[in-house]
Structure 1
Amino acid sequence: MYLVKSLIILLFSNSILAVSNTLPVVLWHGMGDTCCLPVSLGAIKKLIEAETNGTYVRSLKIGGNIALDYESGFFIHPDDQVRYVCEQLARDTRLTNGYNAIGFSQGGQFLRAVAQRCSTPPMKTLITLGGQHQGVFGLPKCPSLTSTTCEHLRKLLRRAAYKEWMQRDLVQATYWHDPLQEEEYRQKSSFLSNINNEVFINQTYIDNLNKLEKFVMVMFLNDTIVQPKESQWFGFYSPGQDTIIRPLNESPVFEDLGLNQLDRDGRLIYLSVEGDHLQMTSKWFIENIIPQLSTN
């Protein structure tokens, strides 16, 4: 009887030890990707679950099926996607006490918009992998599309990025940042200039962003997709040219979004990894991203 009781106590103790203390994780995929397929974020979801003793991981699906989720990365305006995600997260009772958010490529700036616009449930840590926080000026080698389609998109964006119909119908136009047309970008960008507080200062964006425990930005050092790659750390071309990069701490966005306060507090974290866009090993992810996740 004593042996049985001891085994029960041991099993119960082990089950307690196995319970994850990592807050739930929300994932948002990038352009040309999907939420849940094994060759997509489905693999990342399983990896996080395995490395955190089974913490709850929600990989966001925009729309009712995988096809719509894939198309959303190109054709559903970010404002509509962010609104939809905010509603979905607010209904998820497993996120009530807070969650970690990991955004891949454009999913990074979309999750940042969630942090700024929707404070319930509370996002604790935001991690962006290859996010285009200051936008892009060029679409070379874009994934999941033929080179002909890529080139066609690039030409369209340069000629018509700030046309109303383009801003409405093509996701990538909403974070197209032309440094040669800086004022037009600020006034006609239908998403990025807003979430970067470049049109007017939205104090709610600043307050909500500063509720984060950590904001981790990952730049891929050999990135040929995000132009310029420094956008992943909020760097971008100085206005009027497309050669010299202005770092975040010299950009108006640094103060206008309250990132300077996060930086002073040591909550703004810069990470980098060798490789092209989103090219990282499981080992690197486990060693560098998993430890950044907030816990209970």
Structure 2
Amino acid sequence: MIALDKHTSLLFFLLCVWKFNAIESSPPVVLWHGMGDSCCFSFSLGAIKKLIEATLPNIYVYSIRLGNNVIEDVEHSYFGNINQQISQVCEQLSKDKHLKDGYNAIGFSQGAQFMRAVIQRCPNPPVMNFISMGGQHQGVFGLPNCGALGNNTCSYMSRMIKYGAYLKLVQEKLIQATYWHDPYQEKEYKENSIFMADINNELHINQTYKDNLQKLHSMVLVKFTNDTIVWPRESEWFGFYTPGQGTKIQTLEESDLYRTDRLGLKILHKLGKLYFLSSPGNHLQFTESWFVNNIIKVYLM
């Protein structure tokens, strides 16, 4: 048996108290689901919520829901005005007393770019760490699982979509149109996209957007290396097609977004606050152990 003097015993006691409080004080977490999903399905975000709670006891996890029930939540992931939805979410978060001192945010697929918009537009309550799980931060120019149809068919269908994507009615009613990014029609995209072009400061520089991103402790971008849903998958790391064509990819560092630093991403990168992670598998396909070891234990504790 090891004998401890009273000073050592006191130190040990204080250390135990500190460790207990450290576990208790893990910042709250806010989740935003992707297309066709809901806040609370047991096989998707419901399971993620339980996994975080099991790994970090006493943590508060809030999963964003739009509408009065999970069915309406799913519908809102396809239809509606995304800017109005983001305003509703900002109001939800501002009224939640558990979040008043700040929180960590995780967005899944399209929920990631929507969560980033919350950070840029609504800095209170503040976000500490932002984790993007397969988010399309430069938009998409392709159809889900389109690879199975063959390149020629994919290209044809994508080009057909572009003729309606930037109509005002479509932009205000169809969620996915708001992050449709046609590299052949950059001017039309910048002028008519009511969401993606705005949050990426494509047409005008909103200094508030830049300033609010600088307040993050970290921005974590997760790309799924075998993704067949997001075209191009490099959008998950802020990469995209070189303007004027749909084959060659520009990395974030090669893009005007980075070189002109319209969003302040270059600053985040140089400060060591921008992280690029990859996960094997298709879109949002990851194991519990990968999520625990690479996300929860690194960015949420």
| Residue number among 235, 253, 265 corresponding to 1:259 in the alignment | 265
Kindly indicate whether the alpha-carbon contact (under 8 Å) linking 1:18 and 1:53 is maintained by their aligned counterparts in 2: no
Which secondary structure state, in structure 2, belongs to the residue aligned with residue 75 of structure 1?
coil
1:119 aligns with 2:96: no
Equivalent position of 1:87 in the other structure: 91
Residue 161 (structure 2) aligns with: 157
State whether residues 102 and 125 of structure 2, in contact with CA within 8 Å, keep that contact through their aligned partners in structure 1. yes
Q: Does 1:28 align with 2:32?
A: yes
Q: How many residues align?
A: 278
Q: Secondary structure at the match of 1:289?
A: helix
Asked whether 1:97 is paired with 2:101, we answer yes
- Equivalent residue letter for 1:286: V
| Superimposed CA distance per residue, residues 236-283 of structure 1 (whole angstroms, 9 cap, x where no aligned partner) | 000000111111112122200000010000000000011000000001
Paired position in structure 2 for 1:281: 287
Q: Which amino acid aligns with 2:50?
A: K
Q: 1:205 aligns with which of 200, 205, 209?
A: 209
Gaps of 5+ in 2: 1-12, 147-153
Amino acid at match of 1:134: Q
102-111 vs 75-84, which deviates more? 75-84
CA distance in 1: counterparts of 2:69 and 2:160, whole angstroms: 29
1:67-86 equivalence runs, <5 A: 67-86=71-90
The answer to whether structure 1 residue 291 and structure 2 residue 297 are counterparts is yes
1:115 aligned counterpart, secondary structure: helix
- Please name the residue that 1:5 is paired with: none
| Contact 1:23 1:293 (8 Å CA) reproduced | no
Which stretch has the larger CA shift, 184-193 or 16-25? 16-25
* Paired residues of 1:102 and 1:127 also in contact (CA < 8 A): yes
Q: In percent, how many aligned pairs have the same letter?
A: 53
Measure, in 2, the Cα distance between the counterparts of 1:58 and 1:293: 17
Given candidates 237, 240, 247, the residue that maps to 2:241 is 237
The answer for unaligned runs of 5 or more in structure 1 is 1-8, 143-149
State the SS of the aligned residue for 1:85.
helix
* Structure 1 residue 84, shift from structure 2 partner: 0.5
1:58 paired with 2:58, answer: no
Q: How many angstroms does 1:20 deviate by?
A: 2.6
Say which of 20, 39, 42 aligns to 2:43. 39
Secondary structure class of the residue paired with 2:24: coil
Give CA-to-partner distance per residue, 1:6-34, whole Å, 9 cap, x none.
xxx9xx96994684332000000000000
Deviation at 1:54, TM superposition (A): 2.8
Counting only pairs closer than 5 Å after superposition, residues 124-143 of structure 1 correspond to structure 2 as: 124-141=128-145
Give 1:158 deviation, angstroms. 2.7
Residues 15 and 218 of structure 1: CA distance in aligned 2, closer, same or farther (over 3 Å): closer
Report the CA distance between 1:56 and its aligned residue: 0.3
CA distance in 2, matches of 1:173, 1:183: 16
Q: Is 1:115–1:123's contact at 8 Å kept on the other side of the alignment?
A: yes
Q: Secondary structure at the match of 2:229?
A: coil
What's the C-alpha RMSD, in Å, of the aligned pairs? Answer: 2.2
Q: Alpha carbons of 1:216 and 1:15: their partners in 2 closer, same or farther (altered >3 Å)?
A: closer
Are the aligned partners of 1:29 and 1:60 in contact in 2 as well (CA < 8 Å)?
A: yes
Segments of 4+ moved more than 6 angstroms: none
**1:145-164 CA distance string (max 9 Å, x none):** xxxxx99x957633311111
Contact 2:82/2:172 (<8 A) preserved = no
The two structures have a TM-score, normalised by structure 1, of 0.89
Q: TM-score, normalised by structure 2?
A: 0.88
For 2:18 and 2:250, locate their aligned partners in 1 and report how far apart those are by CA, in whole Å. Answer: 52
